[in-house]
Amino acid sequence: MLAGKLYDASDPELDEMRRKAGDLCTRFNATSRHDDATRKAILDELLPGHGANLDVMGPVFFDYGCHTRIGDRVFANFNFTVLDCAPVTIGDDVLFGPNVSLLPPMHPLRWQDRNVRTREDGTAYDYEYGEPITIGSNCWFGGNVTVLGGVTIGDGCVIGAGAVVTKDIPANSVAVGNPARVIKTITDADASVYQDYARA
């Protein structure tokens, strides 16, 4: 699965891993925001590869959790969804708006390869595959952004609300639309948008 080859998602080991991650997501989503210690403990178990100062609003939805690596000081707003059947890597200081989805899973294009099959014992299965997603540091994702498998987003990017990212985005770019396209390169000239009192 992690190598990007066709695999049977109903494999018992994978099924048990998804059930565990699903239970952890359910627990996290049901825990009061005032209970910081419990929420942190759940995230530590769900996302063993996360860095310092992870801030997640919830609800969250992860297929596995253990296949996602998150850097330091990352913030995820409501309904953060990561279907990490392939590796998902997120850099430092990344901001995710509400309803952002990172979607590595892929299904074959031909229905003959994609449709559900039946084993001799009568149980159903199908084949799928995944492609990794890599997100650099210092990125900001607006609300309702979808990133598809196989995409790399460079450092310092801004992905506009509602964008569907189907191809790589170079560093320091503003990308918008469906499919997302680069409309601007971010430069030092853009520092003028900050008010004087907000300068570091």
127-130 and 105-106 strand pairing: antiparallel
Residue that has been written with the tokens 């530590």 in this structure: 44
Q: Pick the catalytic residue: 34, 50, 67, 107?
A: 107
Which residue has tokens 């419990």? 38
- Among residues 98, 21, 105, 122, the alpha carbon closest in space to that of 63 is found at 21
Distance CA 24, CA 169 (A): 32
Structure-block tokens of residue 66 = 């253990």
Active site residue 107: yes
Task: Specify the DSSP element, H or E, that contains 124.
Answer: strand 124-125
Catalytic machinery residues: 107
